[in-house]
Amino acid sequence: MVQATYNFPVGFLWGAATAAHQVEGGNNNNNWARWEAEPGRILNGDRSGLACDWWRGRWKEDLDRAVETGQNAHRLSIEWSRVQPTPDRWDEDALDHYREIIRGMHTRGLTPMVTLHHFTDPLWFYDQGGWGMQKAPALFEQFAIRVVEALKEFVNLWVTINEPNVYVLSGYMGTDFPPGKNDTNAAFAVMCNLIRGHAAAYRAIKRVQKNSNVGFALNYRSLKPASASPIDHALASFAHNSYNDSFARTIKTGNLRFAAKRAAIPEAVGTQDYLGINYYTRDLVRFAPLAPRDMFMKRGFPPGAELSSTGFIANVPEGMFEALHWAKQFDLPIYITENGVEDPTDELRPRYLVEHLHQVWRAVNFNYPIKGYFHWSLVDNFEWERGWSQRFGLWGLDVETQARIRRRSVDLYAEICRQNAISSEIVQRYAPGSFSRLFPES
């Protein structure tokens, strides 16, 4: 049997990711709280409720578990509606609470990566027009300044906006996220303002903290043509350019191309110190003449791909390398800011994890400047419109009792983190079905 080890660079960050609304509990002053209260919006009528009860203190035990299992970093987000509950009020107690959490990470030896916007908007901001209003970037800039001033003692790694492409697609070209408009013109206006908001926040953070590292987290979805048809190829290219390419490309060139629309946003150029990649799966794109609302395209998973428990994710690890190869063109450090699979039985997760991390190692071995990996997620959490139906956590969660359930993947990831490597021994022990793929005989 082959014996080998895939080593990662010294100083590599190993962590997990969370988001405020998904773990804190008791967030009742944002657009998602209202969305959850509307019948039919969330699968099974689920509500976030206490979530993982972080706001009342359970962050301590979860971060203790992270450290005890070899992690040296953690990505979390700040809930804007807690920090600025009304347009004219900043809540210093909320900022102190976040300062306590960040200080707790620091004392535990965890490097914090802090996200300023992870899908949720304060109700006052949302009711005024949200990211569609002209003043949205300036309001977000003010929020960024407040948070960075409060936390800069312990944080210098910032994510301005998480998955702006998902925010726009799901809320303004679909009905999964608020406001559920399904309006291409509104979607384009929001995308423009998210880019302007990122740029404004970037420059504000740099003024407050000169040694900061600031980027954003993109959801990269591998989009390939379903056939050799030129139409399928053209549609897959169009989808890739709009979904994956538009935000990052605008920051490089100042020119936005999104959903067949264009805009010049020169102030965005150069407002990025690294690129965050969230990768989960691949889609095949096919021409669908009867689907005008979907821009005449349908997406589906590759035939024969191993699917997650609800069919939400296909295990296509090669897409991770594709995402990192795409990211390399921007000549910036790269962080994998999210990667994981929903799997309540923890049967697929070990294979998914080692196979995707092997693709990360492949990229590292080609000298791609990858600095860290954050698994989604540390513990099962509220998965937006899918509620509690999906379980992404290394640790399971009993929503009723708040008990944490140790999955076998906890120990798998712990060994990788501690060794800063994927060894043949680890794969044989935890994911033997992946062994021949990662360690072929020849």
| Cα R_g (the chain), whole angstroms | 21
- The DSSP letter of residue 394 is S
> Which is catalytic among the residues 24, 79, 141, 163?
163
Helix axes 92-107, 136-151, angle to 10 degrees: 50
Pairing of strands 395-397, 370-376: unpaired
Tokens of 210: 């000169």
Question: Residues 6 or more apart from 89 whose CB is under 8 A from it?
Answer: none
393 three-state secondary structure: coil
Q: Is the dihedral of CA 257, 200, 131, 218 positive or negative?
A: positive
Decide if 100 is catalytic.
no
Tokens of 131: 């990211």
336 three-state secondary structure: strand
Between vectors from CA 79 to CA 245 and to CA 14, what angle results, nearest 5°? 60
Closest CA to 168 of 192, 190, 183: 190
Closest CA to 116 of 57, 198, 230: 198
DSSP string, 4-54: -EEEPPTT-EEEEE--HHHHS----SBHHHHHHHSTTSSGGG---TTTT-I
Helix or strand holding residue 68 (H, E): helix 59-68
On whether the CB atoms of residues 43 and 385 are closer than 8 A, the answer is yes
- The DSSP letter of residue 302 is P
| Rounded-to-integer distance, Cα 358 and Cα 362, Å | 6
Question: Residues 6 or more apart from 435 whose CB is under 8 A from it?
Answer: 424, 427, 428
> Which is catalytic among the residues 322, 338, 355, 385?
338
Question: Residues 6 or more apart from 217 whose CB is under 8 A from it?
Answer: 115, 159, 161, 162, 163, 276, 277, 278, 337, 338
Decide if 322 is catalytic.
no
Question: Residues 6 or more apart from 432 whose CB is under 8 A from it?
Answer: none
Q: Any idea which residues carry the catalytic annotation?
A: 163, 338
